[in-house]
Structure 1
């Protein structure tokens, strides 16, 4: 990710690429404040991947379609669409009232430009894989095709967008709810180049717009005056940067936050009677992964020995946040409505782990594993626990390097460490995305594992129309990753524990942990 300087916009002006007006005096009664744990850095929605980036982007932008509270698909910038009988062609009609924050109408060509930029080989943007179902998109991204006209996206006119797919994909419309597929203005990018997403330059097309930004402190959003749809009564939304969970809890208790989501605090009982505490399933899995091409973890048998050495129940004792032990990568809640569940996983078994270590042929006294961790307190605790487990059960030394989030992400992308911690929350309501991470063409996961047989099978599975049949096939695909090849070791399913003030209505926490302010009201 490109990290840029962060600008602050004068609080007395609303400055968004040519549109300015006097900001009314803010009333605390119409202000909504929520916490993000880090400054998001870039707000380039092509490159975004972190929850703090998405907390902003999902409220200032929209795509062709949107996810509703029940995870159904509804119109957004596209007012309607049609699909060909073979499932390989979609035609979208751009909503007449859709406008950017500077009043310019959203046009079909804005999607074509956005997708062309996302797929440009020179940029090597990892989120490009969200478009690889589009005809010739992957070949263009990999430089096998030079002419973008051969890619299956066309603006037939200002209000009509045609998309052709490589193959039918049962849940393809979900991809269009992902931020990387959102439109982008060519004139703005040409004018400002890589700083187009800076305050005072960025134009967006969602219900809110950025009006202020202070480095590592806060981002302020106010209603987009050109938004076509309805909103709640929020006049000012503040994303407040609070690094430490305990500090965030204190700020919430003092009335400085209206919403505190995705938390792992130690004292939650005092909120249970107030009705402010919400606990729901969360489709997010935390794990540690291996850089599979880096010796000695390139040895599959060693990876299996490591997996068998970790007592996941003890990890939960370190967290106290309502997490559940995870034997599998994909949250089991995604399968249970269909009556499906995964098969047996790799157990915690130190005795078998020692046998696997012997079978690997690797002498533990001659290796030291380097473990990359986020510097957040709980991940450091987990890293140290894993270090102790591997020393105790296998005699393997582990060296931990804990970095702040942005440095951690850069190092993980470089693949310089044997092991690393991570969490992945689904971006759309289908198990598909957890499996897509491990495609050879995916840029979102840094395991350096590439299995053409896996890739080919997953592409076939994604086209299965019957949902239960497709989900059963997903379970088999997951087994290849976690059990057969041991590419990742799931540790726990995250808990979506949210605190929300009684003055707030209309906010619905969901299993994707998406913060949407469009329907929120405050009093």
Structure 2
């Protein structure tokens, strides 16, 4: 497709990449995909942020015909296992709503690059401290009224308004006076550096050069809200009877706790390329596994450990199963402020007692042994015998570490509680396998505590958990996300562990502050060595994900590596690309 007129993209400095990480970390991206976003930035072509998104029109193979009934059903396996609290991403990023109801100025493509969406063009001044987004004139709300620059100005100021109490308002702190307004130091919203110059031009003035700002404009936290609906219905504005949205789909019905039904939005500017007419999203408890899929109640589902082998061994479904990238790491946090883990010898004993090869067997293909934080195939991944040796499994060495401690011989252990969040993904069987090897090799009995996610997060941030089973999903493919966003000791919020090490922090700062790839990777490798030696954490397993799709589902996008990409934290553009073909 023809590119928009080229613009000179402002240089993005190391300090700006840092700020981008901080902004995305403020909205939880630090847990998942910042590295992918950074890679997308690095791979940006000459059109910069004015790259046009890929055409969503169907590409039929010879002999294929579009189905007359363009209805699609998906969910299960952890997708929408709970009813959304709302669909108001503008106010509550973690509402668990349906992103396809809304369209932002920009969006992420399958390679995690920020591309044009509601904006038809984006320009900046020479240093990237001021950006202008030209809005498409065919951009409309689902009631047919224009979706304009004024809607985005109002929405972003709503998110920053202290009265909204939006938990992720810090995401927009790059905007001039945004932080001051959010903290009530400035009370006049007109002082905030976002304004509609006219209906079709949104001008954003920032606190300084931010060459990455269009990346933020592509994220869920930058989606708009419909002002008249918010003012009329308050917190109920995203109920099916009330919602006015601007994305490729509208919310036709929402039976709370049971099912959501979407319909194609006829007023969406890209409606001609959206093939699906109807999308059904049932609320499926994790315990249901793949049964709804096998009973032909779903066309696409994410698979859990118990279902993968069954579907792979069934000749009828084996061809429907596929693997997709979801880089993540399962690890243990022995809290250094809580006995017995305040003793380095105990932490080293635990590290050497972890029989990773045996532990991952319970994952049935969804995990492989991990010897470091970054999974294979991603920037900063380490295949270094020296690193692998630091916490290698050795039962005799594990017990020997306890000599000279009150726990010599695996005796006199205090009560030890291993805490995890309640979730799918094979988390609990892996945690139980960890318990088993600790009992076997250290005679350490542990109680497993499973907490509701919100409670888990609250206690985690307070660092009052003794021993933690936790995972980190990569936000973007860069070691900064894996180390800085998770373990940096000077963070004031969102710290998962009490462990702090100045030498470790210095290596992270060195990796952050240089553009030299070799020096960066060397700094992060040294940081990994320091953290493992001091047992600030114990890496256990890397995640692998699988899904299943019926043979008549088409349009799932692939990334540059040829891997299928499914809806996740960053990429939320799956539904507009899907279509159904006639069954063979």
What is the deviation of 1:317? Answer: 0.2
Aligned to 1:64: 105
Aligned to 2:72: 32
Aligned to 1:384: 432
Query: More deviation in 371-380 or 252-261?
Result: 371-380
Trace 1:279-358 onto structure 2 (pairs within 5 A).
279-289=323-333, 297=341, 302-335=346-379, 344=387, 346-349=390-393, 350-354=395-399
Contact 1:308 1:353 (8 Å CA) reproduced: yes
Contact 1:287 1:422 (8 Å CA) reproduced: yes
Aligned to 2:547: 498
**Match for 1:88 among 110, 124, 129?**
129
Aligned to 1:235: 277
1:215-240 Cα offsets, whole Å, 9 max, x none, are 33222111122211144321111112
1:275–1:99 distance in 2 versus 1, CA, 3 Å: same
Taking structure 1 as the reference length, what is the TM-score of the superposition? 0.77
Aligned residue for 1:275, secondary structure, equals helix
Aligned to 1:368: 415
What is the deviation of 1:259? Answer: 0.5
Query: More deviation in 132-141 or 420-429?
Result: 132-141
1 CA distance for matches of 2:88 and 2:75?
Answer: 20
Aligned to 1:6: none
Contact 1:211 1:222 (8 Å CA) reproduced: yes
Aligned to 1:203: 244
Contact 1:129 1:441 (8 Å CA) reproduced: no
From the CA coordinates, give the structure whose radius of gyration is larger: 2
1:240-271 Cα offsets, whole Å, 9 max, x none, are 222246x4423222322110125333324236
1 CA distance for matches of 2:103 and 2:188?
Answer: 28
1:259-284 Cα offsets, whole Å, 9 max, x none, are 01253333242367853221233223
Contact 2:75 2:282 (8 Å CA) reproduced: yes
**Match for 1:519 among 555, 564, 577?**
577
| Residue 489, structure 1, aligned to residue 538, structure 2 | yes
2 CA distance for matches of 1:401 and 1:229?
Answer: 48
1 CA distance for matches of 2:322 and 2:433?
Answer: 29
| Residue 400, structure 1, aligned to residue 431, structure 2 | no
Aligned length: 489
1 CA distance for matches of 2:93 and 2:371?
Answer: 28
1:110-137 Cα offsets, whole Å, 9 max, x none, are 3344334444557665534533444555
What is the deviation of 1:34? Answer: 0.8
2 CA distance for matches of 1:170 and 1:200?
Answer: 40
1 CA distance for matches of 2:452 and 2:330?
Answer: 17
2 CA distance for matches of 1:48 and 1:136?
Answer: 21
2 CA distance for matches of 1:103 and 1:68?
Answer: 27
What is the deviation of 1:506? Answer: 0.5
Q: What stretches of structure 2 of length at least 5 have no aligned partner?
A: 1-66, 558-563
What is the deviation of 1:488? Answer: 4.2
Trace 1:226-265 onto structure 2 (pairs within 5 A).
226-230=267-271, 231-244=273-286, 247-264=288-305, 265=308
| Residue 163, structure 1, aligned to residue 204, structure 2 | yes
2 CA distance for matches of 1:225 and 1:142?
Answer: 40
Contact 1:252 1:260 (8 Å CA) reproduced: yes
Query: More deviation in 252-261 or 263-272?
Result: 263-272
2 CA distance for matches of 1:306 and 1:484?
Answer: 12
Contact 2:103 2:223 (8 Å CA) reproduced: yes
1:502–1:181 distance in 2 versus 1, CA, 3 Å: same
Contact 1:155 1:162 (8 Å CA) reproduced: yes
Aligned residue for 2:127, secondary structure, equals coil
Aligned to 1:23: none
1:38-67 Cα offsets, whole Å, 9 max, x none, are 1243233243448xx2xx533122222112
2 CA distance for matches of 1:235 and 1:426?
Answer: 33
2 CA distance for matches of 1:145 and 1:452?
Answer: 36
1:198–1:424 distance in 2 versus 1, CA, 3 Å: farther
2 CA distance for matches of 1:478 and 1:143?
Answer: 39
Cα RMSD of the aligned pairs, angstroms, is 4.1
Query: More deviation in 411-420 or 473-482?
Result: 473-482
Aligned residue for 1:85, secondary structure, equals coil
1:285–1:504 distance in 2 versus 1, CA, 3 Å: same
Contact 2:362 2:433 (8 Å CA) reproduced: no
Aligned residue for 2:362, secondary structure, equals helix
Aligned residue for 1:317, secondary structure, equals helix
| Residue 182, structure 1, aligned to residue 227, structure 2 | no
Taking structure 2 as the reference length, what is the TM-score of the superposition? 0.70
Trace 1:44-55 onto structure 2 (pairs within 5 A).
44-45=88-89, 46-49=91-94, 53=96
2 CA distance for matches of 1:123 and 1:438?
Answer: 30
